[in-house]
Structure formats: structure tokens, C-alpha cells
Chains A and B, each alone.
Chain A
Amino acid sequence: MELVLATAIGVMTGCGVWLILRPRTYQVIVGLSLLSYAVNLFIFGVGGVKTNVPPILVDGVPTSTLADPVPQALVLTAIVIGFATTALFLVVLLASRGLTGTDHVDGRNEPK
């Protein structure tokens, strides 16, 4: 389980880093999205990987068997903020596309 999660985070981070270094704005935004997915999973992972356990204290149940609620709360906030800023970035990309007529990150056409 941990191995699968770690591999998924690693692959997504790798793809994301490669993509944000590309010259097309579309690739950059997909890269940023992938990176933010990877980071969200990572936050989720630091609370310990457990399946099918609630993050709610119940009498008589030892706390070690419960999931940590804090990373879940953090990841929720991070998703919301990441989503909003990515949407905002998308608008800027569209504005840049409209103003420069190209989707190069520096606003210039590359030799084909």
C-alpha cells in the first residue's frame, strides 16, 4: 500500500516537474496540476496510510487504530486553494494567448 502510494506520488511529481519546464503554457498548467495532486497525496500520506478507519474518537477504541484527522483537514484546504489558484492561472494563460497570439511561456513563436 505504502509502496503504491509512494510510487504514484513519485511518478506524478516527476511528470509534473518535467511538464512545468516545457515551453508551452498548456504543458505548464498540466504540470502544475499534476504536482498539486502529488503534493495533496503526500500530505495525506504523512498522517499514516490506513484504510477503512474513521478519524473520530470513540470510547473504548485505542487512538492508534484511528486515522489522523489533521492531514485530512489540511489536504481539503490545500485542494481548495490549489484549485482556485490554478483556475486563476488558466485565465492569465488565456489572456496571454489573446495578447501575444502564441502559447509560448515567453510570448514568442519558436522556430518550428
Chain B
Amino acid sequence: MNGWIHHLIIAPILVPLVAAALMLFFDERQRVVKAMISLASTLILVAVSLTLLRIESGPSEFDGVYLLGNWAAPFGIVLVLDALSALMLLLTALLSVAALVFSFARWHAVGAHFHTMFQLLLLGLNGAFLTGDLFNLFVFFEVMLAASYGLLLHGSGPLRVKAGMHYIAVNLAAALLFLIGVSLIYGTAGTLNMADLAARIPDIEPDRRILMEAGAGVLGIAFLIKAGMWPLCFWLPTAYSAASAPVAGIFAIMSKLGIYIILRLTMLLFGEGPSAGFGADVLLYGGIATLIFGTIGVLASQALGRLAGFSVLVSSGTLLMVLGINDGAISSGALLYLVSSTLTISAFFMLIELVERGQDAGAIVLAVTMEAYGDADEDEPEEGDGVTMPGTMAILGICFAACGILLSGLPPLSGFIAKFAMLSAMMGTGAIGVPPTAAVWVLVFLVILSGIAALISMTRAGIRTFWSSLEGTVPRVLVIEIVPVMFLLFLTLALTVQAGPAMQYMDTTIRSLSNPRIYIDAVRKAAPIPDYDGAASTEAGGK
């Protein structure tokens, strides 16, 4: 054991839980106190996840398995920290700081319990990233979903309630599929611990393995709904564009949670052994279909919110496609793309709200879209107080252009580097003399095409917003609103400058993922702390 630092593993779950519980003591009128608790919690999360990431990327052998209640692995519930979960924790924490600060300007005041639900959402996300147990994953997933239902409805209005209703219905159905999958797996393998399950798969006799694979398939559908694979994605653009800006900003990580779990489970359970490669074709073709659907959606979107929603699908589609190929070098490029695209989309969702605040010229075009998808008459929250941003249009324009560059994958920002890493791995620059096959050309073509589509759509939207405004009204934007957007965009810039170390980290991550033995052995060997006085007696008599 590594002393107290070992307990940091559970901090990403405990900190938001305690913060959320604390906030229930305060009345809604004491919003400043709530905001401060919430901010403190997210800042602690950033510090903790940075520490965990540094430990994971360090050379030392860190024992990332945390036994809850000091019970050994297959019987007790474990939390497992590895390079991938540390990365996702940090990404979540950074997004949450940006979204939270953004909400201080006005959004946290338009409804009750914003901060409590926000912290519970973080609790669910962090728990899902850390857990090493399938059923615990379900519990954290539900915590996250329950909080997200509340957050999506935050701000109310007919459009949000309608989108929220569809979102909740779809996710309730997905949760039921999740349960069916989990129970099928338990029924055939007799375990819910992910590492134990991976170790037991070779021992399952063939006729029962089919049932296990069916269970895994049903389970996968639940996550693919979250990730937004075509044809399970029709709820996503509507729900995300209906959500208030800071909520949509943090929702950007939720579709990546689906991707994360699929990556984790396919690498762990179906990386090697008799069931190797299970579901890879579904991911590949599903990813391609999602990418095409998302690209068409990006081109067809008139409203910026829907454009961002379809960008989520493009990002999911690309990632699913790469998971289907399951090649080390391509996957590490894809991880970089995951980080970059999540930061971009989150920043874009928040930027949209600022840009559209002053936009009346496009209202006619917008009205047509809105008529097709629902009512446009949502209640705008009252103007917040604070310092107004000088040179608003210039800064908004620069941020918008940066988002466009990132979404389309143009140099010099990280969107380009990530796509370049993926594409060059697909073309196989490493293996000289092996020409890429026709299938690879199709994939390369699709990825580039989706970038062009994003470029066209963003240029069109940019011209309409910034150059052809008839009224010429400048939106009133507070510093506290634009700074989070700039912070996220700055992170993509940092990712560009530090692309070398970042790629190295992704490479290590994928290497350790593609060797599931490391994970399995770590969990199985983790022993309870022996000199814990009275552990045996209290456990025996306690329950």
C-alpha cells in the first residue's frame, strides 16, 4: 500500500458526494455559498485527478486497486484506477470547472438545486470511470443519469421538457437493457467483477458462451445508446441542443462515457481468448454509419445548437469506428481525438449561447428549424451582473473560428494533430511496403469528409453570425462567461504544444489496455490490509 495517497483513488467519488450533501443544508437564496462549495469541490477534483494522472504516468508501480470495505476482489467491490480512467477523470474535472464558472453568470439562478445536481452528475461520472464492477457501474450510471435528467430540465420551458421527456424515456429503456445484459453475464459467468469476468471467459463452455456474448451484446447496446451510435442516436442532438449552455457543456463528456466503457470492456473481455474480436464489426460499421449520419446532420443544421449536437455524433462515430478496427497506434490517436473533441464540443456549446444572444438576423432561418423540432419560445434568464467583456465581437469571433478549426481538424490546433495521428496510423506509415487496403481508404475518406463538412457548416454559420448581422447589435457578454470558453480552447492549444508527451501517454494507455493480464492480475492480487484491527470480527458481527 502506498499510505494515504492510495486513498486518493476514492476522492473523486467522495468529494462531489460530500459537496452535494452539504449544499442541501443551504436554502436556494444562499446561492453564493452553494456556488462556492461547488467551485471548491470541482477545484479539488482537478487537483486530485491531476495528482492521479501524474502518478499513473510516472514510472513507479502504483497499486491502483482500491478495495472498498477491505474485502478481496471477487467478493467485495473494487475501484480500479489505471491510465485510462485517470485521463477521463482529469477531462471530467476540467470540463466541470469550465461549465461551473460559466453557470455563475446567470444559468445557476434559473432553477433550483443546480449545484447539487451538478455535483451528483460528477459523482456518477467519476464513479463510472473508476469502478471495476459491472453492477456498481450500473449504480453509478443511474446516479449520473438521474442527475442529468434534472440538469437537462434546468431552466424549464416547453422545449426542454419535451426533449427531457424523450431523453428520460430512452435512457430508462437503456437502463433496462443494461440490467438484462448484466444479469445474463452473471448467469453464465457467475461474477460481476470485470477482472474476474475477463479471467473466467476462457473457462465458460461454448454453449453457455453464446449466452454470455448475448449478454455482452445487450449490455453494449445500452452504452451505444449513450454514445449515440446510429440508429440509437436520434434523441441526442435534440436533447443536447435543448439543454442550457453549461449543462450541454458538461454533457459533452457523457457520450464519451459510453465510448469509455465500450473501450474498457472490449479490450478487457474480448481482447484475447475464445471470444476475441466480439462485436468489432458492429462497432466498425455502426461507427461508419454514425459518422455519415453525423456529417449529413452537421451539413443540414441551421441552428448552431443542433450543429454542435451532430458534432457529438461525428466524434462518437469516429471513435466507434476506430474501436472497431482495434489497432494499437490508431487507438492512441483516437484517445487524443477523444480528449480534443470533448474539449472542443464543450467549449462550442457554451460559446453558442453567447453568440446567439445577440443574434436576431438569423432568427428567420432559425424559426424554420425550430418549427420542425419544437417551440422556440423559451424563457431567457434575466441579465446577470458583472463585468462586461470589452471587444466582444472580436473575441467571440476568434473563439468561434478556433472551434471551427478544431471541429474540422485543420492545423494548428489539437483537432488536426489528433486526426493526423489517427490517419497516419491508418495509412500505416510505420510499415513500409504495406499499401493501405480499399477499406482503409474508405475510412480515411470518411474522416476527412466529416472534417470538410464541419468546415463548410462552421464557415456558413460564422458568416451568418458575424459578418451579415443586419441589426449590428453586440451581445452583452460577461468576462466570467467567455473565460471558461477561452480556458477550454487554451487547453486544446496546450494539447497541441505538448502533443509529444500527450501522445506518449495515450500510447502507454493503449498498450496497457491491450494487455488485459495487467488489469486482471492487479485486481486479483490486491489483498485486504491485514493489520486492520478488528476487521474480521466487526465484519462478522456487523451485518
Instruction: For the complex, give the distance between the alpha carbons of A86 and B175 in Å.
Output: 12
Which of B149, B165, B180, B184 lies at the interface centre, i.e. has the most chain A CB atoms within 10 A of its CB? Answer: B165
Q: Are A89 and B169 in contact (CB under 8 A)?
A: yes
Q: Are A89 and B168 in contact (CB under 8 A)?
A: yes
Q: Are A43 and B164 in contact (CB under 8 A)?
A: no
Task: Name A99's contact: one of B146, B161, B169, B180 (CB within 8 Å).
Answer: B161
B497 contacts chain A at the CB level, 8 A cutoff: no
Shortest CB–CB separation between residue A27 and chain B, in angstroms? 11
Instruction: For the complex, give the distance between the alpha carbons of A73 and B85 in Å.
Output: 27
Shortest CB–CB separation between residue A110 and chain B, in angstroms? 15
Shortest CB–CB separation between residue B534 and chain A, in angstroms? 23
Q: Are A105 and B165 in contact (CB under 8 A)?
A: yes
Q: Are A35 and B158 in contact (CB under 8 A)?
A: no
Which of B149, B158, B166, B183 lies at the interface centre, i.e. has the most chain A CB atoms within 10 A of its CB? Answer: B183
The chain A residue sitting closest to B136, CB to CB, is A77
Q: Are A93 and B183 in contact (CB under 8 A)?
A: no
Q: Are B179 and A78 in contact (CB under 8 A)?
A: yes
Known A20-B169, A77-B139, A107-B162; contact A46-B184, beta-carbon cutoff 8 A: yes
On chain A, the residues within 8 Å of B139 by CB distance are 77, 81
Known A35-B173, A85-B175; contact A74-B183, beta-carbon cutoff 8 A: yes
Q: Are A46 and B135 in contact (CB under 8 A)?
A: no
Shortest CB–CB separation between residue A38 and chain B, in angstroms? 8
The chain B residue sitting closest to A17, CB to CB, is B173
Docked complex: B127-186 residues within 8 A CB-CB of A: 135, 138-139, 142, 145-146, 149-150, 153, 156-158, 161-162, 164-166, 168-169, 172-173, 175-176, 179-180, 182-184, 186
Can you list 30 pairs linking A and B with CB atoms under 8 Å apart? A20-B169, A32-B169, A32-B176, A36-B176, A39-B176, A39-B180, A39-B183, A46-B183, A70-B186, A70-B192, A71-B183, A77-B135, A77-B138, A81-B138, A82-B175, A84-B146, A85-B142, A85-B175, A88-B149, A88-B150, A89-B165, A89-B168, A92-B165, A93-B165, A95-B156, A96-B161, A99-B158, A99-B161, A106-B162, A107-B374
Q: Are A89 and B172 in contact (CB under 8 A)?
A: yes
Shortest CB–CB separation between residue B188 and chain A, in angstroms? 8
Known A47-B187, A84-B146, A88-B146; contact A35-B176, beta-carbon cutoff 8 A: yes
Shortest CB–CB separation between residue B91 and chain A, in angstroms? 26
Tally chain A residues at the interface, Cβ within 8 Å.
Answer: 32
On chain A, the residues within 8 Å of B150 by CB distance are 88
Q: Are A43 and B183 in contact (CB under 8 A)?
A: yes
B interface residues (Cβ-Cβ under 8 A, vs A):
135, 138-139, 142, 145-146, 149-150, 153, 156-158, 161-162, 164-166, 168-169, 172-173, 175-176, 179-180, 182-184, 186-187, 192, 374
On chain A, the residues within 8 Å of B180 by CB distance are 39, 42
On chain B, the residues within 8 Å of A93 by CB distance are 165
Which of B145, B166, B186 lies at the interface centre, i.e. has the most chain A CB atoms within 10 A of its CB? Answer: B186
A7 contacts chain B at the CB level, 8 A cutoff: no
Shortest CB–CB separation between residue A36 and chain B, in angstroms? 6
Docked complex: A52-106 residues within 8 A CB-CB of B: 70-71, 74, 77-78, 81-82, 84-86, 88-89, 92-93, 95-96, 99-100, 105-106
Q: Are A95 and B187 in contact (CB under 8 A)?
A: no
Instruction: Please name 12 further chain A to chain B contacts, defined as beta carbons within 8 Å, in addition to the given A35-B173, A105-B165, sorted by A numbering.
Output: A77-B139, A78-B138, A81-B175, A82-B176, A85-B172, A89-B165, A92-B149, A92-B164, A93-B165, A95-B153, A95-B161, A99-B158
On chain B, the residues within 8 Å of A89 by CB distance are 165, 168-169, 172
On chain A, the residues within 8 Å of B182 by CB distance are 43, 74
Q: Are A85 and B145 in contact (CB under 8 A)?
A: yes
On chain A, the residues within 8 Å of B157 by CB distance are 99
Instruction: For the complex, give the distance between the alpha carbons of A47 and B192 in Å.
Output: 13
Q: Are B172 and A92 in contact (CB under 8 A)?
A: no
Q: Are B173 and A20 in contact (CB under 8 A)?
A: yes
Which of B135, B139, B168, B374 lies at the interface centre, i.e. has the most chain A CB atoms within 10 A of its CB? Answer: B168
The chain B residue sitting closest to A29, CB to CB, is B169
On chain A, the residues within 8 Å of B135 by CB distance are 74, 77
The chain B residue sitting closest to A105, CB to CB, is B165
The chain A residue sitting closest to B215, CB to CB, is A46
The chain A residue sitting closest to B164, CB to CB, is A92
Shortest CB–CB separation between residue A82 and chain B, in angstroms? 8
The chain B residue sitting closest to A70, CB to CB, is B186
Instruction: For the complex, give the distance between the alpha carbons of A100 and B156 in Å.
Output: 13
Task: Name B162's contact: one of A78, A81, A100 (CB within 8 Å).
Answer: A100
Instruction: For the complex, give the distance between the alpha carbons of A100 and B158 in Å.
Output: 7
On chain B, the residues within 8 Å of A20 by CB distance are 169, 173
Instruction: For the complex, give the distance between the alpha carbons of A78 and B150 in Å.
Output: 20
Instruction: For the complex, give the distance between the alpha carbons of A95 and B176 in Å.
Output: 24
Task: Name B179's contact: one of A28, A39, A92 (CB within 8 Å).
Answer: A39
Instruction: For the complex, give the distance between the alpha carbons of A20 and B174 in Å.
Output: 13
Shortest CB–CB separation between residue A50 and chain B, in angstroms? 14
